[in-house]
Amino acid sequence: MSPNPNPRAPLPIKVLAGLGVVLIVLPLAGLIQRAAWSSLFEDLSSQAALDALQLSLLTSLAATALALILGLPLAWVLARSKLRGRSIIRALVLVPMVLPPVVGGVALLSAFSLRSPLGGWLHDVFGLQLTFAPAGVILAETFVAMPFFVLTVEAAIRQSDPRVEQIAATLGASPAAVMRRVTLPTVAPAIGAGAVLAWARALGEFGATVTFAGNVAGRTRTLPLAVYLALESDPNAAIALSLVLLVVSFAVLVSQRERWWNNQ
Amino acid sequence: MSLNLSIKKSLSERFCLEVELSTPPARTLAVLGPNGAGKSTLLNALAGILAIDEGCIELDGRVLDEPRSGTWLTPDQRNIGFVAQDLLLFSHMSALDNVAFGLRCRGMSKTQAATRSTEWLNRFGLEGLENRKPRQLSGGQAQRVAVARALATDPDLLLLDEPLAALDVSVRHQMRRELRGWINEYSKPTVVVTHDPLDALILADDIAVIESGRLTQIGTVTQVSAQPRTPYVAELFGTNLIGGTANGNEVAAGRATIVSAESNEGPVFVSISPNALSLHASQPTTSARNCWSARVSEVSMAGQSVEVKVQTQEGLDLRIGITPAALAELDLQPNTNVWVTAKASQVQVYAA
C-alpha cells in the first residue's frame, strides 16, 4: 500500500496532460473522420493499393525474419558473452533507432549502390542489385527494425538467471540442449514481443526505403510510400491506406498489452 | 561411493579457497561457515560450474577435475544432483517436466520419463500437482519438486545449497525432517551447505567448517558441536570456548584457572555450555569447583531464554543461559557485579 494512493494533481499538470492526450488523439480522430467509408473497399482494392499492400507484407515479414535470425544470436552475445568492446557493439547496433531514417538510407546507398565498391561487386559477381529492388527494401527495413528486436531480447536474456542454465547442465543437458530447452523458452515471450515491434517498425518504414530503394511501383513502393504518393492524386486512397496502417498499429499494441498496459 | 577432494581456487587477489576433505559413502556432510567463507565456491567446483586452479576432485574413483592432468568434466558429464538455494525451477515447465528434464536429457523416452517423474512426485507427496507451473506451487511444494528433480537422475553425489533458507519458518521444520528422510534413503554422499547449525545437526552426519577459505574444523556432528575449535563454531553452537594449557585437573587460561573433572596435559580447549554456568548475586557457598567474580557486559534474549554475557575479573568472557524469571530476580544490568560458578564435571577439556 502506498501511503497516498490517490494524489490530487495540481490543475496546470492536469491541463498539460490533457493537452498531451489531445495532441495524439486529435489527428487519429481526424483520420477516421475524414475516411470515405462508402468507397473504402474500392480504394483498398485498386491495383496500386493491392500491390503496395502485398509488397509491404512481404518485405516487412522478410525483414522481421532477418532481424530474428541475426538479432537473436546478437542479443545473446550482447547479454552473455564477456567479449571486449561489447558496449561499443551495443551502441553501434542501436544507432539506427536514433538515426534519422533518411540518413540511414543515404548510408545504405553509400555502401550498396551500384557505384559503391561493395554494391558493384555484388552486382558483378552475383548479379544482385539492391537499389530499386525489393531486396533493397528488405535491407532498409531490417536496418531500421533490427535494433528494436535486439534491445527487447537482450534485456530478457540479461534478466534471466544464468544459474538456471547451470542447473540444466548439472541435470545432464548439453550446451545445445540448454539453449534449446531452457534459454530460448525462457525468453520466448520477449522474442515474440521483439519480433512484433520490429515488424511494426519495418511495416511503417519510409525514409530509409525511399532514399535507398527508391519509389518504384510494384517493386519498392511499400504502403507508406503509396500513402505519400496518393496524397497528391487520390486523397481518399491515401486515407484508406493510412487506416490500414493504423489498424495494424493498434493490433500490435493489443498484442503487447501484457507488456505495456499492465504496469501497475 | 565416496568423495575425495583437495582443491585450490582463487576468486580474487584477496580470496582463495583451499580445502582438503573426503566423505565416506552414504554419509551426509554439512559445510558450515560464515558468509563469504567459500562454501558456494566449493559447491560450484563440485558441480562443475567453476573450474579449480589446483588439486583434484574425485568421486567414487572417477576424476572430475584435475588441472594437473588436464582432466575436466563439464556439469552434464558429472552426474551430480544440485539443489540451489532459490531452487531455480524451470519456470516455463510444469512440475512434471521439471522432474523429467534430467531423464529426458539422458535419452529416456517421453512417456517413460513422465511415468518415472510421476512416481517421484507421488513419493514426495505431490500427487495431482503434475501440471502446475512453478509459480503456482507453494514454497514447500516447489522445494520438493527441486529435490525430486535433483534425485530423479540417480546422481552419484547430491549437493544442497542452503536448502531451507528460502522457506517460511513455519514450513522449515517440517521440510527439514522430510529432507532428512530423503537423504537417508539416498545411499550416496550428500554435501549440504548451510549457515544454520540446526540444519547441520539434523541433516548431516559430519560437519566441515570453512572460514575465510580454509577448513577450520571437521568431524562428526557430535564432535564438532560439543568440542568446537574456533570462536565461530563455538558461537554457532552456543557454547563457551576457552583456549589454555592443562596441567592435571587445572587449565591455565590467561590469568584464570579452570578446574575440570578429568586430567589433561598441554595445550587444550575448554568448552562450557552456557546452561552449565550459574549466576549468583553474591558470593555463593557452593560445592562447584569453579567460582569467579564477574561483571555483566550484555543481557539479551535468545529464543525463550536469556543470555547474559559477563567478563570475569581474570578476563574470561563467558555467556550464561538463564530463565527470564532468574533475570528478574537477579536484577541484572550492564556493569552489575555477579558471581559465576561451574561444576568441574560440566567442564569439557580436549586437546587443542
Cβ(A182)–Cβ(B90) below 8 Å: yes
State the residue range of the domain holding A175: 47-257
Comparison of pLDDT for A190 and B25, the residue scoring more? A190
Q: How far apart are CA A94 and CA A196, in angstroms?
A: 17
For residue A182, which residues of chain B lie inside 8 Å, CB to CB?
A: 90
Chain A residue with minimal CA distance to B99?
Answer: A171
Task: Verify whether the Cβ–Cβ distance A182 to B90 is below 8 Å.
Answer: yes
Out of A170, A177, A186, name the one closest to residue B80 (CB).
Answer: A170
CATH number for position A244: 1.10.3720.10
Cα–Cα distance measured from residue A195 to residue A187, given in angstroms and rounded to the nearest whole number? 12
Cα B107 to chain centroid distance, Å, stands at 36
Q: What are B120's three cell numbers?
A: 517421484
CB contact under 8 A, A170 and B81: yes
**A22 assigned to some structural domain:** no
**Top CATH class, B238-351:** mainly beta
Residues of A in contact with B157 (CB under 8 A): none
The answer to whether residue B25 scores a pLDDT higher than 80 is: no
pLDDT for residue A168 is more than 90: yes
Q: What is the pLDDT of residue A6?
A: 65
List of E strands, chain B: 3-10, 16-23, 28-32, 54-59, 62-66, 71-72, 80-83, 157-161, 190-194, 206-211, 214-220, 240-253, 256-272, 277-280, 290-302, 305-312, 317-322, 337-342, 348-351
Nearest-by-CA chain A residue for B150:
A171
Partner A, chain B 76-95, Cβ-Cβ below 8 Å: 76, 78-82, 84, 88, 90-93
Contact A161 B88 (CB under 8 A): yes
CB contact (8 A) between residue B75 and residue A161: no
The total number of residues shown for chain A amounts to 264
For residue B212, give the amino acid letter: S
To the nearest whole percent, how much of chain A has pLDDT over 70?
Answer: 95
Using only the alpha carbons of chain A, give its radius of gyration: 22
Q: Does residue A25 fall inside a structural domain?
A: no
Q: For the segment A97-120, what is each residue's pLDDT rounded down to a tens digit? A: 999 999 999 999 999 998 889 988
Provide the domain count of chain A: 1
Mean pLDDT value of segment B67-89? 93
A191 reaches B (C-beta below 8 A): no
- Which amino acid is present at B136? Q
Average pLDDT taken over every residue of chain B: 91
C-alpha cell at A50: 493491392
Distance of CA B140 to CAs B91, B117, B159, B163, B178, Å? 16, 18, 18, 11, 11
- Which residues does chain A have within 8 Å of residue B149's beta carbon, measured at their own beta carbons? 171
Measure in Å the smallest separation between the Cα of B298 and chain A Cα atoms: 38
Neighbours of B283 (CB within 10 A): 11
Least confident of A39-43, A228-232, B84-88, B100-104: A39-43
Q: How far is CA B205 from CA B19, B32, B55, B109, B200, in A?
A: 19, 13, 25, 37, 8
CA atoms within 13 A on the CB side of B273: 8
pLDDT tens for B186-241 read 888 999 999 889 999 999 999 999 999 999 999 999 999 989 999 999 999 989 99
Mean pLDDT in residue range A158-187: 92
Tell me if B75 and A166 make a contact (CB, 8 A cut-off): yes
**Which of A67, A250, A48 has its CA nearest to residue A56?**
A48
CATH architecture for residues B3-235: 3-Layer(aba) Sandwich (3.40)
Question: Using CB atoms within 10 A of its CB, is residue B350 exposed (0-12), middle (13-18) or buried (19+)?
Answer: middle
Give the pLDDT score at A260.
61
Give the distance from CA A146 to its chain's centroid.
7
Is A167 within 8 Å of B78 when comparing Cβ atoms?
A: no
Burial, A13: exposed, middle or buried (Cβ in 10 Å; 0-12, 13-18, 19+)?
exposed
Strand partners, B241: B271
Mean per-residue pLDDT for B92-107?
A: 94
Whole-number pLDDT of residue A36: 81
In a domain, A42, yes or no: no
Beta sheet of B348-351, edge-to-edge order: B240-253, B256-272, B348-351
- Is B100 within 8 Å of B112 (Cβ atoms)? no
d(CA B112, CA B211): 45
**pLDDT score, position B156:** 93
Confidence (pLDDT) at A3: 56
Rounded distance between C-alpha atoms, residue B27 and residue B312, angstroms:
42
Q: Which residues pair with B22 in a beta bridge?
A: B4
Q: Is the pLDDT of residue A5 over 70?
A: no
Contact B101 A161 (CB under 8 A): no
What confidence score (pLDDT) does residue A235 get?
87
Residue A125 has pLDDT above 60, yes or no: yes
Question: From the CB of residue A5, how many other CB atoms can be counted at a distance below 10 Å?
Answer: 6
Show residues of chain A in contact with B101, CB under 8 Å. Answer: 168, 171, 173, 181
CB atoms B92 and A186 under 8 Å: yes
Instruction: Please list the residue range(s) of chain B that carry CATH number 3.40.50.300.
Output: 3-235
Phi, psi of A236 (to 5 degrees): -60, -40
- Judged by a CB distance cut-off of 8 A, whether residue A181 touches chain B is yes
Angle of CA points A186, A192, A194, to nearest 5°: 105
Can you read off the three cell numbers belonging to residue B48? Answer: 562443475
Q: Name the one residue in this structure whose C-alpha cell is 530463565.
A: B323
Is B51 touching A (CB cutoff 8 A)?
no
Percentage of chain B modeled with pLDDT above 90: 74
Which of A164, A171, A178, A181 to mutate: most B Cβ within 10 Å? Answer: A171
SS3 A258: helix
The answer to whether position A6 is within a domain reads no
pLDDT value of residue A264: 43
Q: Does A164 touch chain B (CB under 8 A)?
A: yes
Whether chain B has a CB inside 8 Å of the CB on A247: the answer is: no
Q: Which residues pair with B256 in a beta bridge?
A: B253
Contacts of B108 in chain A (CB under 8 A): none
Listed in order, the ranges of chain B carrying CATH 2.40.50.100 are: 238-351
Q: Is residue A116 part of a domain?
A: yes
When mean pLDDT is compared across A61-65, A141-145, A191-195, B304-308, the lowest value belongs to: B304-308
Q: Best mutation site among A165, A167, A184, A186 for testing chain B: the one with the most B CBs within 10 Å?
A: A167
Q: Hey, how many other C-beta atoms are within 10 angstroms of the C-beta on B63?
A: 14
Strand partners, B291: B341
Please tell me the predicted confidence (pLDDT) of residue A262.
55
Residue of B79, B88, B106 with shortest CB distance to A167: B88
ipTM: 0.83
pLDDT-above-90 percentage for chain A: 59
Position A4 scores a pLDDT of: 59
pLDDT at A14: 92
